[in-house]
């Protein structure tokens, strides 16, 4: 009986962990433009949630 409760606890903890990762998630962004050059690069992204556009320039 004790083995059943440990496996149930393990499944519950794993489910909670996966749910936490799903809730936190990644940035919901779409890459509009990604240009890499020998001197640097430019990346333009748009947030799918807010529509905000960000431009990152690497030198």
- Which of 26, 20, 30, 23 is closest to 51 using CA atoms? 30
pLDDT score for 41: 92
Give 59 or 38, the one with higher predicted confidence: 38
pLDDT score for 53: 94
Rg (C-alpha) for the chain, rounded Å, is: 21
Q: Which residues are within 8 A (CB) of 40 and not within 5 positions of it... i.e. 6 or more apart?
A: 57, 58, 59
pTM, two decimal places: 0.53
pLDDT digits (tens, 9 = 90+) for 3-37: 567 778 788 888 888 877 777 666 788 999 999 98
Phi, psi of 29 (to 5 degrees): -125, 155
pLDDT score for 32: 92
Q: Which residues are within 8 A (CB) of 48 and not within 5 positions of it... i.e. 6 or more apart?
A: 28, 29, 30
């Amino acid at each position: 009986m004790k083995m059943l409760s440990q496996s149930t606890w393990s499944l519950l903890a794993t489910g909670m962990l996966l749910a936490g990762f799903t809730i936190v998630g990644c940035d919901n962004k779409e890459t509009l433009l990604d240009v890499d050059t020998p001197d640097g690069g430019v990346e333009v992204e748009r947030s799918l949630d807010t529509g905000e556009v960000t431009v990152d320039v690497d030198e």
